Chain A
Amino acid sequence: MTPGNHPIFRKVIPMKEGLVQDLQEIVGEDAVRDDPADLYVYGSDSSVHCALPWAIVRPGTVEEVQEILRYANSNGIPVVTRGAGSGMSGQAVPIQGGIILDMKRLNKILEISPENTYVRVQAGVVDDDLNRALKPYGFMYPPAPASSRIATIGGEIANNASGTRSVKYGATRDCVLGMKVVMADGSLVNLGSTTRVEASGYQVDRLMVGSEGTLGVIVEATMKIVPIPKYRCMGVACFNELEEAGDTISEIIASGTQPSVLELMDNVAITAVNTAIDLGLPDVEALLFIEADGNVKEAVDYEIERMKEIAEKYNAFGIDISYDAEKRTKLFKGRKKLFASLSRYKEGYSCTSLADDMAVPYSRMAEMARKIHDIADRNDVIMTAYGHCGSGCVHTKILMDPTRKEQWEGARNAVREIYEYVRSVGGTTSAEHGIGLSKAPAWKKEKQDSLEIIGAIKKALDPNNILNPGKLQDAPDDWLTATDLRYKAE
């Protein structure tokens, strides 16, 4: 079987003759693969999409990345950069074939500088590995996305990931100080700086954040780190009404309180984690996880107490507050495993990453949470509302029987309705998971005024359109038919 003739290859794009041999000359024989088994698995990430590359390359040095880009640019070959493949929207799915650039060999921590509060890493360093290395220094890299156990720093930058602690410490964007990027023509550029502040013209490093591999290949990054706080206090509050939990979030943020975690879980999410990993969470309509941290216990107590008072104002009950690290770790573990646990919510249903991370203004949080369930009911699918609501991010997923075509039609309608609502209240399509393919149609509507600028930037930096082509502004208008699905529906 040749990749171009593969049954799941939607478009037959001629592969350059001698591609594999040419790549082997650059990186060595063992770092290139084109066996159908490898192409098949590298054609998927954690999204619903699937499309085959022509070859997979695992560069071991920055120079090799440069050489690969020079070669691809000269020959018009698409290059799709891949970290852990944990993206949920098809960012690393090679919709136009080409080379998958697997960055996981570039996984060295180059410098830990506690006195300057930064760390310098190669793009393939895994988030949790970095935090393990920082711990002896008393520091942490704070965004904490749920995928931190496998997600690479390069991938997190390319998607502007955020997570449970972003409400206090910011998203990846807020941690980027500088980076080295290989541009489409193979040139290596230094962007940003190593200082906390920089006001030198265009912030090109920031342009790379969230660019999803369409503007350059991030090979090294200098990221801000913060001291691990001495005290962390976590609370869990129960609600009988989802809207009351939403109103609590809105008021906590508006009150000036400083949570380090402010997470929502609705009943679908609670049931899923209790079923899948027996977490023993209270079976209520909604839960809020609140956390405050700092180096002064009285200050932490004060923040937690204020959050508790606001929650009680909105009829929260059973509020359990604790400094117990073990308890907190267990709850965090449950939260990090929520995505997969949702697949066990109902027999015969699977959890799909669709409409999964919109953000709305805080005052709309309660309405949004309810809207998600109304839209799901109308379209005969199950949806859930959870997420880092303290940062304005609402997660959902679509739970459905992926083997039934009509379920996909329902999912398509639900996704459209969700994003129509999000736009109508001034929200945004993606808070932290990125656009890729499945969110591109909604994102293009949201950004219609700036698509021309975005297109001009892409053309200026990647004139031959080799870097992750067919994504973001260039993605198809219907995500459902953009690629084959990795599920077989009849």
Chain B
Amino acid sequence: MTANFKDLEKWSPELNICIRCGYCYELCPLYKAHPWESDTPRAKMLLVYGLLTGDLEPSQHVAEKISECFFCKNCENNCSANVPVTDIIKEAKAALAEAGYEVDRTASTVDEDLCCRCYTCVSVCKAEAVEPDEDGQPVVDPVECEGCGVCAASCPSGAISQKDGFGVSREELRQLLLDTLRKGAQVE
């Protein structure tokens, strides 16, 4: 086992408890955007298990598959075995980040050129993932960020965004809205 993942060992019993019934992915927004088995919450649990047991070598792809999550907890609420899926994901993200892998795919990012430093993002972030750095520039911690998008929605200067590819970026939401309106107009 890679030394970096020792902290995850405490989750071994919970990972064994997952019976992989798949109820976790029925309402998973990440899976809706990326409908591969490797994008399901149960797969994330298996990948963490693979890192723990040494069956799986860590890689950037593994880091992405584990860390891409919107922390909506639909998986946990559907899990009859009560596996703390998002707690495990959050700690695995931290371990992978420490090992040098990028874990920011579903995290928000701040455009410094547009940011007016009003700190609305800091005050609205439930995960306490946005903090000013030493120069006063708000910075998103990719490990703590839960990708809820509240900071992006509340930023008055449009400086915060989420990445394309998960159905939550400003452009993707705009397109979704347009498609919905067009569909509605056709029905009329």
B residues within 8 A CB of A40? Answer: 46-47, 50, 55-56
Binary flags per residue of A423-464, CB closer than 8 Å to B gives 1, else 0? 000000000000000000000000000000000000000000
**Complex Cα gap A277–B54 (Å):** 33
**Complex Cα gap A373–B12 (Å):** 28
Which of B20, B38, B56 lies in contact with A46, CB distance below 8 A?
B20
- Point out which of A6, A40, A352, A402 has the most chain B C-beta atoms below 10 A from its C-beta: A40
B residues within 8 A CB of A104? Answer: 35
* A487 CB within 8 Å of chain B: yes
Closest to B53 in A: A488
A residues within 8 A CB of B40? Answer: 41
Per the 8 Å Cβ criterion, residues 135-183 of B in contact with A are none
- Point out which of A7, A41, A348 has the most chain B C-beta atoms below 10 A from its C-beta: A41
- The distance from the CB of A177 to the nearest CB of chain B, in whole angstroms, is 27
B22 touches A86 (CB 8 A): yes
* A294 CB within 8 Å of chain B: no
**Which one of A205-213, A233-241, A303-311, A339-347 is at the interface?**
A339-347
B80 touches A276 (CB 8 A): yes
Which of A102, A149, A341 lies in contact with B26, CB distance below 8 A?
A149
A337 touches B80 (CB 8 A): yes
A residues within 8 A CB of B82? Answer: 276, 344
- The distance from the CB of B66 to the nearest CB of chain A, in whole angstroms, is 8
Per the 8 Å Cβ criterion, residues 34-51 of B in contact with A are 35-38, 40, 43, 46-47, 49-50
* A85 CB within 8 Å of chain B: yes
- The distance from the CB of B52 to the nearest CB of chain A, in whole angstroms, is 9
B55 touches A343 (CB 8 A): no
* B185 CB within 8 Å of chain A: no
* A220 CB within 8 Å of chain B: no
B residues within 8 A CB of A41? Answer: 37-38, 40, 43, 46-47
Which of A149, A339, A348 lies in contact with B19, CB distance below 8 A?
A339
B37 touches A85 (CB 8 A): yes
- The distance from the CB of B139 to the nearest CB of chain A, in whole angstroms, is 29
B residues within 8 A CB of A149? Answer: 22-23, 26
Given contacts A102-B37, A340-B81, A343-B81, contact A37 B62 (CB under 8 A): yes
Q: How large is the interface on A (under 10, 10 to 19, 20 to 34, 35 or more residues)?
A: 35 or more
A340 touches B46 (CB 8 A): no
A487 touches B62 (CB 8 A): no
* A44 CB within 8 Å of chain B: yes
A residues within 8 A CB of B65? Answer: 37
**Complex Cα gap A315–B38 (Å):** 50
* B127 CB within 8 Å of chain A: no
Closest to A86 in B: B22
Which of B19, B50, B56, B57 lies in contact with A353, CB distance below 8 A?
B19
B80 touches A338 (CB 8 A): yes
Per the 8 Å Cβ criterion, residues 74-96 of B in contact with A are 79-82
Binary flags per residue of B1-39, CB closer than 8 Å to A gives 1, else 0? 000000000001100111111110110000000011110
* B126 CB within 8 Å of chain A: no
**Complex Cα gap A104–B46 (Å):** 20
Which of A38, A42, A44, A402 lies in contact with B20, CB distance below 8 A?
A44
B17 touches A46 (CB 8 A): no
Which of A8, A46, A402 lies in contact with B21, CB distance below 8 A?
A46
**Complex Cα gap A85–B40 (Å):** 11
Residues of A within 8 A of B (CB): 1, 6-8, 33, 35-38, 40-42, 44-46, 56, 58, 84-86, 102, 104-105, 147, 149-150, 273, 276-277, 337-344, 348, 350-353, 402-403, 486-488
Write 8 A-B pairs (CB below 8 A) sorted by A numbering. A6-B55, A40-B46, A41-B38, A102-B37, A147-B21, A273-B80, A340-B19, A344-B17
Question: 9 other contacts beyond A37-B61, A276-B82, with CB at 8 A cut-off?
Answer: A36-B61, A37-B38, A40-B47, A40-B50, A147-B22, A149-B23, A150-B22, A337-B80, A350-B19
Nearest 3 interchain pairs by C-beta = A337-B80, A340-B80, A41-B43
